[in-house]
Amino acid sequence: MLTTLYVRDLAVVAEAEIAFGPGLTVVTGETGAGKSLLVDALLLLAGARADATRVRADAVRAEVSAEFDLGDSEAARNWLLAEALDDGGACRLRRVIQAEGGSRAWINGRPVTLVQLQALSGHLLEIHGQHEHQALLQREQQLALLDAFGGHTELLSRVRELAQRLRDVAREATQLGDGEAREARLTLLAHQCAELERWALSPERCAALEAEQRRLGNAERLLSGAGALSEMLDGDDGLRVRLVRAGTELARLAELDPQLRACCELIDTARIQIEEAGSTLGHYTEARDLDPRRLAEVETHLQHLHDLARKHRTAPDALEDVLAQLRDEHTQLLGAGARIDALTRERKSRMRDYETAAARLSAARVQAAQRLSSEVGMLMAQLGMPDGRLEVALQTGAADAFDVQGRERCEFLISTNPGMPPRPLRRIASGGELARISLALEVAMLGLDDVGCMVFDEVDTGIGGAVAEIVGQKLRALGRVRQVLCVTHLAQVAAQGHAHLQVSKHSADGQTHTRIAVLDVGGRHDELARMLGGVSITRETRAHARAMLERAQAGA
């Protein structure tokens, strides 16, 4: 249940905070005063698109927030718990719209996405705007309403589960292919695996082969260079000979000055290292020879690696992974015959289960359609359509179509005049008729969900007189078990409210402001009289307003 709504700098509302109670709260005011701003604020909290033009002209941002009591919404509590956004029994929604564009949202003080805001608000609010009843014209929505009315959640869930599994089975069988295609694929896989088994290498071996190719391809240069370096180090006038001479001369000098002994040791260490380097180079040149056959083998292997890499669109050192994948596919296809047999058996079993589940859902829908037609027909008569009749027509689809929605499609048919055959609602209903049919459906489906707050924005458009009073009575009846907010321009509806908000507009300092006031009994008399009498409010008008209010209160 909505307990508090706070609005700041939204359109012509500078700031307003409104407390709400249970029952039916009606919202009235002169045309253009901004009655629908409350609905707009709730729509923003429900995740509707934020239009920067709705920000008050002299403000940098608009803010809307609301608090809800979750005592009547287990679904909302479970959602908050699942999203780790729970905060006790209360729930706070907040939305800020920037004048330069963009918006942000919070749930219980924590930032959230609009998708999350929409998901939660679906458990808290049910908003029926002036055009919301247009959804009734959609056949998918009509079927959803029928299933909600009939309480078909479990039956529909079972049908959806079986239909999805049948689709999965068919998809897997298609992927496995027919016999000829499978054999052709097996032949190709065997050839590809043989190629990769012959040439593919691990990343380490691939790197070693590339290093060997570089070495063999540059063998002559390596040998000549190593020989030249060996001569430079160990030749007749090489570094080793020069270091020996330098060491001998330095030893003589060290006899004259002991401080040079450390330098002698360094010279001696350098000579030893030079000798080791020369020896290593000598062994290198003796051990290496040009091997053109090995070079050809290495280059052939590398060429195959690169060709296969291009063929399989991967890197040469990743070919072993490709081989593993192809082996797995080959193994699966070898067992495909057995898997297809298993899928065929499963499909037959699932088809029987689907037929049983779909038949149960169909039977339940037939019964629900009869009850919904009867109840809505009686309500339509009460709402000023005495000859109105609603039929819920169910059309059965193809027997081999395993639809997640079941076998049926639904069409609401309506007749508003005697002697006229029922025709599709989407073809003949006027705006006023749609509004009343929408209200009749809401009353018929009362208590089928746990949404705590229902909002109606001028759904009484196009009616008046006794019908308007009946509409008000039905809204008041909704208010006995749900919190209901109704924006109305009809005194007959407004009189039925348990609480009454008046929206008024005034100008100050060159700006337009909207006020939202909670009316007491006297204020309600005056407002109902204004709604009944317009500009001229007589004593009779006030008496009529008082009588309407007393009659509504007497009906509880």
pLDDT of 372? 93
User: Quick check: is 154 in a domain?
Assistant: no
Q: Based on the structure, what is the number of domains in the chain?
A: 2
Which among 380, 503, 431, 404 is positioned nearest to 132, based on CA atoms?
A: 431
pTM, to two decimals: 0.60
Mapping DSSP to helix (H, G, I), strand (E, B) and coil, where does residue 346 land?
Answer: helix
Whether residues 285 and 217 share a domain: the answer is: yes
- Tell me: do 184 and 317 sit in the same domain: yes
Q: Is residue 395 part of a domain?
A: no
Q: In the structure, what pLDDT confidence band is assigned to residue 217 with cuts at 50, 70 and 90? A: confident
Q: Give the residue, 58 or 4, on which the prediction is more confident.
A: 4
**Shared-domain flag, residues 21 and 126:** yes
Nearest to 488 by CA among 515, 536, 455: 455
Claim to verify: residue 238 and residue 126 sit in the same structural domain: no
Q: Are 525 and 542 in contact (CB under 8 A)?
A: yes
pLDDT tens digit sequence for 513-536: 788 889 999 999 989 998 887 667
Tell me what pLDDT residue 534 has. Answer: 66
∠ at Cα 311 (305, 313), nearest 5°?
Answer: 95
Residues 186 and 303 in one domain: yes
Asked whether residue 53 is assigned to any structural domain, the reply reads: yes
φ/ψ (deg, to 5) at 461:
-60, 135
pLDDT digits (tens, 9 = 90+) for 238-255: 787 888 888 888 888 888
- Give percent of the chain with pLDDT exceeding 70: 92
Same domain, 224 and 105: no
Both 115 and 213 in one domain: the answer is no
How would DSSP label each residue in 516-556?
EEE--HHHHHHHHHHHHHTT---HHHHHHHHHHHHHHHHT-
- Structural domain includes residue 114: yes
Residue 419 lies in a domain: no
Q: 370 in a domain, yes or no?
A: no
Token reading at 163: 């239909």
Q: How far is CA 226 from CA 278, 282, 287, 320, in A?
A: 9, 8, 12, 37
How many Cα atoms occupy the beta-carbon half-sphere of 388 within 13 Å? 25
Shared domain check, 185 and 330: yes
Q: Could you tell me if 123 and 451 are in contact, meaning their C-beta atoms sit under 8 angstroms apart?
A: yes
The torsion angles phi and psi of 15, rounded to 5 degrees, stand at -165, 135
Do the bridges between strand 13-19 and strand 2-10 make them parallel or antiparallel, or are there none, so unpaired? Answer: antiparallel
Q: Which of 281, 304, 334 is the last residue of a domain?
A: 334
| Distance separating alpha carbons of residues 66 and 10, to the nearest angstrom | 14
Antiparallel, parallel or unpaired: β 24-29 and 499-508:
parallel
Q: What mean pLDDT do residues 382-403 have?
A: 83
Burial class of residue 94 in the structure, from the number of CB atoms within 10 Å of its CB (0-12 exposed, 13-18 middle, 19+ buried) = buried
> Pick from 485, 502, 518: which residue ends a domain?
518
Decide which of 70 and 34 is more confident.
Answer: 70
Write down which residue in 293, 309, 334 finishes a domain. 334
The angle formed by the CA atoms of residues 403, 406 and 409, to the nearest 5 degrees, is 100
Those residues whose C-beta lies under 8 Å from the C-beta of residue 153, and which sit 6 or more positions away, are 147
Neighbours of 153 (CB within 10 A): 10
pLDDT of residue 360: 96
Residue with the two structure tokens 């001479």:
245
DSSP strands (E only) in 55-185: 61-69, 90-98, 103-107, 110-112, 125-128
Highest mean pLDDT range out of 92-101, 261-270, 416-425?
Answer: 92-101
Residue 429: pLDDT band by 50, 70, 90 thresholds? low
Answer with the residue of higher pLDDT: 436 or 86.
Answer: 86
Task: Judge if 327 and 202 occupy the same domain.
Answer: yes
Distance between CA atoms of 389 and 377, rounded to whole angstroms? 5
d(CA 494, CA 458): 11
Q: Which residue has the higher pLDDT, 225 or 147?
A: 147
Give domain status of residue 383, yes or no: no
Tokens of 343: 């899928």
Q: Is the pLDDT of residue 381 over 60?
A: yes
Average pLDDT in the chain = 85
125 and 197 share a domain? no
Residue 301 vs residue 428, higher pLDDT = 301
Spatial CA neighbour of 380 closest among 431, 461, 439, 421: 439
Note down the domain range covering 304. Answer: 180-334
Measured distance CA(210)–CA(480) in Å, rounded: 84
- Residue 300: count other Cβ atoms within 10 Å of its Cβ: 11
- Quick check: 130 pLDDT over 60? no
> Which secondary-structure segment (H or E) carries 155?
helix 153-176
Looking up residue 69, the CATH number of its domain turns out to be 3.40.50.300
pLDDT band at 179 (very low <50, low <70, confident <90, very high): low
* DSSP assigned state of 509: T
Does the pLDDT at position 284 exceed 80?
Answer: no
**pLDDT classification of 288: cutoffs 50, 70, 90:** low
Most confident of 60-64, 224-228, 237-241, 436-440: 60-64
Residue predicted with more confidence, 294 or 306: 306
pLDDT band for 461, please (50, 70, 90 cuts).
Answer: low
Residue 94 sits in the same domain as residue 185:
no
Q: Is 119 in the same domain as 26?
A: yes
**What is the longest distance spanned by two Cα atoms in the chain?**
139
Tokens of 160: 């959806």
- Strand segments, DSSP code E, in 40-116 are 61-69, 90-98, 103-107, 110-112
Amino acid identity, residue 474? K
In a domain, 1, yes or no: yes
pLDDT band (50, 70, 90) for residue 379:
confident
